[in-house]
Amino acid sequence: MRLKEKVTLITGGAHGIGRAISRRFAREGAKVAIADNEAEALEEAGGLLRAEGAEVLAVVTDVQCKSQVDAMIDQVTARWGRLDVVVNNAGICRPSRFLEMTEEDWDRHMNVNLKGAFLVSQRAAKEMVRKGAGGSIIQMSSVNGLAAESEQAHYNASKGGLNLLMMSMALELAEHGIRVNSLCPGFIETRLTQPLIDNPQAIGNYVMSIPMRKVGQPEDIADAALFMASDESRYMTGHCMVIDGGQIIKLS
């Protein structure tokens, strides 16, 4: 087991990619804390993990709020005494044309996608430094953090900022044995992409922009997250790993 006894935290863990990562980590022996701002979905996700034999802590958290982030980390460390791996997966994506984008749209994307990752990462890193055993922090970025798509200015900017936050953290935290990397998924089947997937003509056209001609699955990202969390990536930090079926080749 590649994460045996490791204490892991996955934000946005109730749905899609976050849920898949939680299950993958649990199957590799990790203790799994999942956080989400949707209490009912979080309870369901936690129940499914427990039914599969996982040791789970589920914490309702809005990552935009520092006091809630602090309370979440406090619960994790109170239960297990440390924190080894963090996946900042909580995020939103609500397309809007640039000329029609509101200040509220912009702020919401920055607060959840970028500020939330900063708050969780900083507090988690402090715990890792205090414990002195290193760790791995994984930012869930996107190919949109490396190349822009239309109607996504707020999302593109938040994910580009997240990648530079990751690199800055990697520079400063390496001396503490803390590795920081980003995963950059392409088009993955989740509830955020479901409206497009449910439109046969639209998804048919979109898939043609993906060289592998298929939509990615949450498990594709979970496998990459496992690599980043495990000792197999022990000499990797400050890196953006793209998992997109080749999509970024065309985007760039």
Active site residues: 155
Strand segments, DSSP code E, in 12-55 are 31-36
Beta-bridge partners for 182 = 139, 240
Q: 95 with 151: CB under 8 angstroms?
A: yes
C-beta atoms surrounding 208 within 10 Å: 10
Q: Give the residue carrying structure tokens 């000329």.
A: 99
Among 64, 98, 57, 92, which Cα is nearest to 78's? 57
With H, G, I as helix, E, B as strand and everything else as coil, classify residue 182: strand
The residues facing 57 across adjacent strands are 33
CA 37 to chain centre: 14
For residues 110 and 130, give the distance between their C-alpha atoms in angstroms, rounded to a whole number.
29
Please report, as a single letter, which amino acid is at residue 221.
Answer: I
Place of tokens 């900042």: 88
User: Considering only CA atoms, which of 237, 239, 103, 88 is closest in space to residue 172?
Assistant: 237
In degrees and rounded to multiples of 5, residue 224 shows phi and psi of -65, -40
